[in-house]
Structure formats: C-alpha cells, structure tokens
Amino acid sequence: MPYYPPEPFRIKVVEPIKLVSPAERRIAIAEAGYNVFALKAKDIFIDLLTDSGTGAMSQHQWSALMEGDESYAGARSYFRLKEAVEDIFGFKYFLPTHQGRAAENILAAVLVKPGCHIPSNMHFDTTDANIRARGGRPVNLVIEEAFDPANLHPFKGNMDLKKLKAYIEETGSQNIPMGMITVTNNAGGGQPVSMENIRSVATLYHSYNIPFFIDAARYAENAYFIKLREPGYADKTPIEIAREMFSYADGFCMSAKKDAIVNIGGLLALNDPAVFQKVSNELILREGFVSYGGLAGRDLDAMAVGLYEGLDEDYLAYRLSQTAYLAGLLREQGIGLIEPPGGHAIYLDAGALLPHIPHGEFPGQALAVEMYLEGGIRACEIGSVMFAHPDPDTGEMVYPRLELVRLAIPRRVYTQSHLDYLAQSLGKIIQRASELRGLKFTYAPELLRHFTARFERL
Ligand code: F0G
C-alpha cells in the first residue's frame, strides 16, 4: 500500500463540503456548458481545479492578518514582507502584486515588444497569454523527456540547453528581451528543474546578455525536489537551496497563491534599476501604489509569514509525499499519469486513457466532465482546450503534445480519505472509458479560452 504521511498539523477550523446527487450533478454540468470553471463551488465535493489560492492558512498567518497596516503608502506590512522577500530571494528591488499574472503583465508591458521572442522551459497559460497580448512570441524549450509520461527523469522540467542555444542563435539575442524558466514546470506536469540546469540556463542567457527571469510560483517545492534528487543538496535546507536558485537570476515573477500559501498575492523582484522604475509606474497605473500593489496591508503580512511556512521542511516532506501517495493509488489501478508525480498535482494522461477521442474533441475535457459526474470532483484540463492555437504564420491548428487532466492538490486542505475517494472514483471511470465521448466548442474566446469556453457533448 502506498505510504501516506501523517500531516504535520491538526485541524482547528472545518469547512463543510457536500456531495450533491447524481441528478443534480448532471444538471449543474450541463448548465455550466460542460466547462468546470462555470460550476458553482457549492455543487462540488472535492475541488482539485487548482492549488492556487486554495490552501489553508495557518494560525500564524491568521494572526498576522490582524497586524495588517492599511496605510496607503509605506505600511509596516510592506516592510515586513520586504524583509522576508530580501531574505529568501535576495534581489535589489521588489513589488507586491495582486497575483502572479499581474507581475507578468507589468513585466511584459515593459520588456515585451511586438515580434520579440521569450523562451522558457514551458510558459504557463497566463505568462504565455501576457506575452502574446503584447505581440511577443512565447517559446517552450523543455527537454524531450518531458513529453514521455513514463520517463522517470528526476528533473523533467529542465530546459533543453541545445535547443535554447540554437533558438537564440536563430532568433538573434537582440530579439529576446528576456529569457525565463518556470519552477516547477506546471504546464509540463509540475516537474522540477535541477540546480545544475538553472545555473546553465543562466550562464547561457547571460552569455548573450539576455536577462533571466524565473517564474517562481512553486519554487519551494522545486527546492525540496532538488534536496531529494540532486547530488550535493541532501544536507542543505530548502531556504538555502532557494537562495542559490535565485542567485543565478536577474529577477522573478511569482504567484504567491501557491508556495506562499496565501489566498491572494504575487511578487515581482529584479535587480535592474531602470526596469524597476518602469514596472513601478505600470504597477501604479494598473494595480496600486508600490507598497501594496493591489493587495490589502493584511495580505502582505499573511504572505510574509507564508513564504517561510512554504519552505518548512516537515511541511514540504508531507506535501510531496501526499502527491506521491495519490500517484501510487492510481498506478495500482493502471491509470496512466505523468511520472514521476509532480509536487502540487497529479497529471492524468487523458490522451492515453481515452485514445479513441482525437485532440480536436478534447479528451482531457471529456475526462474532467466525467470526474464531476462520477464523484463531484473538479479537475482541470491541460490540453487542447487550454493550449491549441492557430499557427501565426500558417493559420493551421497546433495541438499540444499531451492531453492532460490536472488534479491539483490544495495545500493543507484535503486528507487521506479524500484522496482514497478520488482514486476510487477514477477507478470506476476507467472501467467504462471506451464509452466516453468528446466535446465541441459552442463558444471560445481568443485568449485563455479554457476559462470561459462552452461546450456541447458529442
Ligand atoms: N505561473 C505559474 C507557473 C502558474 O502556475 C500560475 C498560476 C501563474 C504563473 C499565474 O499566477 O494565478 O496568481 O495570476 N497558476 C494557477 C494554476 C492558476 O491553477 O496553476 P496567478
């Protein structure tokens, strides 16, 4: 039997959840246009749509909220956050933002010009869209192993350095205003990036004078994977590993809703004073003053505390064992997933589970809909609904290589029995997989279409 770690906390406040009847679930998903984003939370039993902003804050974070200083400028809360950010990440300048995508937006506003190119291992959807929205081209250059769900490479989030070098040579470094890497690689299975790879990517970008930014949403989980898997790091603490990771970069943007275990918040930090001046002006225009960035003072305090809790070693050991446990339950039933399991989520290989449904009929979406119908479970498609797009040169549809369904595990929220229930529900679906049918769009916006698209079942 897979191992389930005892949680390094006990439960002090509970939030009731309810499984509504199968008939109610059928009505709810039809009314939602077969898009799980349009479901009402009250109709969901176990919500694995995202690990973003859905974590449970600790008693220390809740008490920090009471210390929040709501001054418009120069609040104490800002300085408490500043101290934590400088201690962990070590950049010269930082800005709080209301989410990760707000940090991406102001960074893209300043650095991305029409026709320029931004490489990464894999951009997440909001980063991808923020670059496209400014006329730039996001490019994904992760190692080939990332596309083989069975491959057990310990750092499947790594950048392919050969591809990156060739891409820079071909594109010309003058057309690349920044280079990125996402840790862990959310769009590719929550897979970590090794320290060696981060260091080499930085060296390569810097040899072409390209500033290097980390998308750091899950940096603490990445640090713990490095501790577990990379030679030379076993005796280092997660915070020491994190400090080394960021020492190679020129800046980072981050959604604090993941590893800082807050319900809202983001960060942007960098070393270049001229860029900082410009992003500050963008922040003031769109988000708020530089000392609160669209957040309440209390949110900054919860973040300052959460940044350290997300790096706690007992917490990280529990966190990564929880996803490993769920992966074990699914593996026992022969359910295909991206191996090895990532930190924050399990990614079901919907393409392999439903081989009879082609890309254009959205096998991942079909599985996500079925999970809701079977068990009141909400999960997120990461496949053609999210990423298929017309090629800007030829207009031909480009499909992603993997059709996935992500089961994102909120931090400190669900227990072992919730995961057992989930595994049992999936087991039932797999029995009747060949009967499942795909979907087609009845509405789809141009960018970030998974959020608001509507479907019809085929
Ligand atoms: N970068 C990564 C790697 C992310 O996973 C996310 C968000 C963002 C940036 C944007 O941050 O939501 O605070 O604006 N990911 C969430 C998810 C939405 O479900 O994976 P945000």
Beta-strand pair 380-382/251-255? unpaired
Which of 258, 292, 345, 387 is catalytic? The answer is: 258
Mean pLDDT of 123-149: 95
- What's the rounded Cα separation, in Å, for the pair 132 and 354? 31
282-295 per-position pLDDT tens digit: 999 999 999 999 99
Listed residues 309, 330, 350: the one ending a domain: 309
What pLDDT score does 393 carry?
Answer: 86
With 90 as the cut, is the pLDDT of residue 1 above it?
Answer: no
Which ligand 1 atom sits closest to the C-alpha of 182? 3
Domain count, the chain: 2
- What's the rounded Cα separation, in Å, for the pair 153 and 166? 23
Listed residues 276, 309, 342: the one ending a domain: 309
291 and 376 co-located in one domain: no
Using alpha carbons, select from 229, 406, 233, 404 the residue that is nearest to residue 320.
229
What pLDDT score does 446 carry?
Answer: 84
402-427 per-position pLDDT tens digit: 899 999 999 999 999 999 999 999 99
What pLDDT score does 405 carry?
Answer: 96
Mean pLDDT of 322-337: 96
218 and 328 co-located in one domain: no
What pLDDT score does 148 carry?
Answer: 93
37 and 63 co-located in one domain: no
Do 75 and 292 touch, CB atoms closer than 8 A? yes
With 90 as the cut, is the pLDDT of residue 448 above it?
Answer: no
238 and 97 co-located in one domain: yes
Q: Is 265 left (phi over 0), alpha (psi -120 to 50) or beta?
A: left
Q: What's the Cα-to-Cα distance from 325 to each of 220, 272, 312, 335, rounded to whole Å? A: 20, 43, 20, 14
Using DSSP's 3-state secondary structure scheme, residue 441 falls into: strand
With 90 as the cut, is the pLDDT of residue 370 above it?
Answer: yes
- 391 flagged as catalytic: no
Mean pLDDT of 240-269: 98
Considering the domain boundaries, does residue 6 fall inside one? no
271 and 159 co-located in one domain: yes
| CB-based burial label for 19 (10 Å; 0-12, 13-18, 19+) | middle
Secondary structure (H, E, C), 136-201: CEEEECECHHHHCCCCCCCCCCCECHHHHHHHHHHHCHHHCCCEEEECCEHHHCCECCCHHHHHHH
Helical ranges in 230-272 per DSSP H: 238-247
Listed residues 245, 278, 309: the one ending a domain: 309
195 and 135 co-located in one domain: yes
Considering the domain boundaries, does residue 17 fall inside one? no
With 90 as the cut, is the pLDDT of residue 387 above it?
Answer: no
68-82 per-position pLDDT tens digit: 999 999 999 999 999
Q: pLDDT-based confidence at 389, cuts 50/70/90?
A: confident
Which ligand 1 atom sits closest to the C-alpha of 265? 13
With 90 as the cut, is the pLDDT of residue 392 above it?
Answer: no
Do 147 and 221 touch, CB atoms closer than 8 A? no
Considering the domain boundaries, does residue 12 fall inside one? no
Determine the distance separating the centroid of ligand 1 and the alpha carbon of 261, expressed in angstroms: 13
Domain residues for 122?
A: 59-309
With 90 as the cut, is the pLDDT of residue 21 above it?
Answer: yes
Q: pLDDT-based confidence at 188, cuts 50/70/90?
A: confident
Give the bridge partners for 254, in sequence order.
267
Establish whether residue 99 lines the binding site of ligand 1, counting it when its CB lies within 6 angstroms of any ligand atom: yes
- What's the rounded Cα separation, in Å, for the pair 269 and 266? 10
Establish whether residue 98 lines the binding site of ligand 1, counting it when its CB lies within 6 angstroms of any ligand atom: no
Average pLDDT, the chain: 96
- 215 flagged as catalytic: yes
Considering the domain boundaries, does residue 114 fall inside one? yes
253 and 139 co-located in one domain: yes
Which of 215, 259, 299, 301 is catalytic? The answer is: 215
With 90 as the cut, is the pLDDT of residue 113 above it?
Answer: yes
143 and 274 co-located in one domain: yes
The CATH number of the domain where 124 resides is what? 3.40.640.10
Considering the domain boundaries, does residue 40 fall inside one? yes
Q: pLDDT-based confidence at 401, cuts 50/70/90?
A: confident
With 90 as the cut, is the pLDDT of residue 2 above it?
Answer: no
What pLDDT score does 125 carry?
Answer: 87
Sign of the Cα torsion 271, 275, 278, 284 reads negative
Amino acid (1-letter code) at residue 118: I
Using alpha carbons, select from 307, 276, 280, 207 the residue that is nearest to residue 248.
207
Amino acid (1-letter code) at residue 195: M
Considering the domain boundaries, does residue 3 fall inside one? no
Establish whether residue 215 lines the binding site of ligand 1, counting it when its CB lies within 6 angstroms of any ligand atom: yes
- Higher per-residue confidence, 448 vs 133: 133
Q: Kindly report the protein residue whose alpha carbon is nearest to atom 19 of ligand 1.
A: 50
- What's the rounded Cα separation, in Å, for the pair 381 and 364? 5
Mean pLDDT of 23-48: 98
What pLDDT score does 176 carry?
Answer: 98
277 and 220 co-located in one domain: yes
- 217 flagged as catalytic: yes
Considering the domain boundaries, does residue 270 fall inside one? yes
294-318 per-position pLDDT tens digit: 999 999 999 999 999 999 999 999 9
Mean pLDDT of 130-140: 96
Q: What percent of the chain has pLDDT over 70?
A: 100
